[in-house]
């Protein structure tokens, strides 16, 4: 039997050594030419209607391996006893961001009923100057400060109860150059209409936690969950490089197990994450059943080098859809697949739909693999 003292010490020992701080980080590979930066540009603190101190937001981000955050307290919805400058949030968190190597981008949320709803101005210079009676003046000032402006949670139930609509006010905002990005995912909500608008109107897609509570309220890290975030494909891990990437729409949205974004970013991300280690050819049987049933058999070994999950569904491009089993390749996981192609088609390719990589609200990324059996390990290109 252990002494009372060791009974106290043992759990502490286990906590220290079994829960390394890196446990919450998700490994998402860089793509050729760009670093993949995990960012969250929308969250709150005690300086508006959140419940945590600004430096805590930095600690959370550091634990999760985020490159950058913006603390976007509401300029308007503040507790009555908060009378300080609207720059206080950012200034309070600055030192801790420096210590933890998290890029802290100044920002604030312009908060109105619908229309126009809520908009974030990040990369703002002076949040006090953004605070105005008239939202048009706030947005004009944000633009004057060189801020990057996003329309937040466009399909928020409370503001758009039936359908997610692009209203005349949003058209006006867009035409005035007061909207550069749009949230297609916010916390636990996803807005497919906004994703389509972003593609059509060339807006930058954004995903954000909009955390008001401590971040653990939104993600069970022990289960491998993560906050909703924006993946920024930047030339460097700097504030300027993030801004350049946002201005040039090099983002994807990481929401639950889904990655949303344009094919030009999702394809390299897939190819860097999921590699084909080996393909083995098993020649078709020549005796027995009728020739029409003959198939060429291949064994494919996939290795997932990332912390992302992949859902693959075997398809025949252009053919009417059939039922095919869905294969899940877990983070850092491996999968060996036995597949057949009809021998008479002579096809040396096999295609998969990556069901959780969406390049439009309705289009999954298609991943085609050349069936070239090689003795050596081979990666897909």
- Binding residues for Zn ion, rule: CB under 5 A, are 49, 118, 152
Closest distance to Zn ion from the beta carbon of 282 (Å):
56
Q: Where are the alpha helices (DSSP H) in the chain?
A: 4-18, 54-64, 88-100, 127-130, 135-144, 168-175, 192-201, 239-247, 263-273
Q: Where are the alpha helices (DSSP H) in 65-109?
A: 88-100
Closest distance to Zn ion from the beta carbon of 210 (Å):
6
Report the alpha-carbon distance of residue 371 to residue 373 in Å, rounded: 6
Closest distance to Zn ion from the beta carbon of 212 (Å):
6
Closest distance to Zn ion from the beta carbon of 281 (Å):
55
- To the nearest 10°, the Cα dihedral for 260, 261, 267, 270? -30
DSSP state of 142: H
Closest distance to Zn ion from the beta carbon of 230 (Å):
16
Smaller CB separation from Zn ion, 92 or 120: 120
Report the alpha-carbon distance of residue 183 to residue 201 in Å, rounded: 14
Whether 317 and 366 have beta carbons less than 8 Å apart is answered as: yes
Token pair for 157:
């139930």
Smaller CB separation from Zn ion, 152 or 251: 152
Closest distance to Zn ion from the beta carbon of 135 (Å):
13
Whether 113 and 167 have beta carbons less than 8 Å apart is answered as: no
Whether 39 and 232 have beta carbons less than 8 Å apart is answered as: yes
Residues 72, 76, 77, 78: is their CA dihedral positive or negative?
positive
Smaller CB separation from Zn ion, 2 or 158: 158
Smaller CB separation from Zn ion, 205 or 276: 205
Smaller CB separation from Zn ion, 204 or 341: 204
Give me the residue whose beta carbon is nearest to Zn ion: 118
Smaller CB separation from Zn ion, 189 or 257: 189
Strand partners, 208: 186
Smaller CB separation from Zn ion, 212 or 313: 212
HSE-up of 334 (CA within 13 Å, CB side)?
5
Closest distance to Zn ion from the beta carbon of 105 (Å):
17
């Amino acid at each position: 039997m252990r002494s009372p003292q060791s009974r106290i010490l043992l759990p502490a020992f286990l906590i220290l050594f079994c829960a390394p701080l890196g446990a919450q980080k998700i490994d998402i590979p860089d793509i050729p030419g760009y670093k993949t930066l995990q960012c969250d540009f929308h969250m709150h603190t005690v300086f508006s209607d959140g419940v945590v101190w600004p430096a805590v937001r930095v600690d959370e981000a550091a634990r999760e391996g985020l490159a950058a955050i913006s603390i976007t307290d509401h300029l308007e919805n503040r507790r009555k006893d908060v009378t300080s400058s609207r720059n206080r949030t950012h200034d309070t968190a600055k030192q801790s961001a420096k210590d933890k190597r998290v890029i802290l981008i100044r920002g604030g949320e312009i908060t109105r009923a619908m229309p126009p709803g809520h908009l974030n101005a990040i990369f703002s210079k002076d949040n006090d100057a953004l605070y105005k009676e008239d939202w048009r003046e706030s947005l004009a000032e944000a633009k004057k400060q060189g801020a990057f402006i996003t329309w937040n949670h466009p399909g928020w139930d409370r503001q758009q109860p039936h359908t997610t609509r692009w209203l005349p006010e949003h058209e006006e905002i867009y035409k005035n150059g007061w909207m550069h990005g749009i949230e297609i995912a916010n916390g636990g909500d996803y807005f497919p209409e906004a994703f389509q608008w972003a593609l059509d109107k060339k807006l930058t897609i954004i995903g954000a936690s909009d955390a008001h509570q401590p971040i653990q309220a939104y993600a069970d890290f022990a289960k491998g969950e993560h906050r909703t975030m924006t993946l920024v494909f930047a030339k460097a891990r700097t504030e300027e490089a993030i801004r350049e990437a946002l201005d040039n729409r090099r983002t994807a949205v990481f929401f639950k197990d889904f990655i949303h974004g344009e094919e030009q970013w999702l394809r390299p991300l897939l190819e860097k994450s999921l590699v084909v280690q080996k393909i083995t050819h098993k020649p078709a049987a020549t005796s027995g059943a009728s020739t029409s049933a003959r198939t060429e058999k291949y064994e494919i070994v996939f290795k997932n080098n990332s912390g992302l999950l992949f859902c693959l569904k075997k398809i025949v491009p252009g053919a009417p859809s059939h039922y095919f089993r869905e294969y899940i390749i877990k983070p850092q996981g491996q999968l060996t697949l036995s597949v057949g192609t009809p021998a008479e088609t002579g096809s040396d390719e096999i295609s998969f739909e990556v069901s959780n990589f969406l390049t439009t609200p309705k289009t999954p990324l298609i991943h085609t693999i050349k069936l070239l059996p090689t003795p050596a390990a081979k990666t897909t290109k």
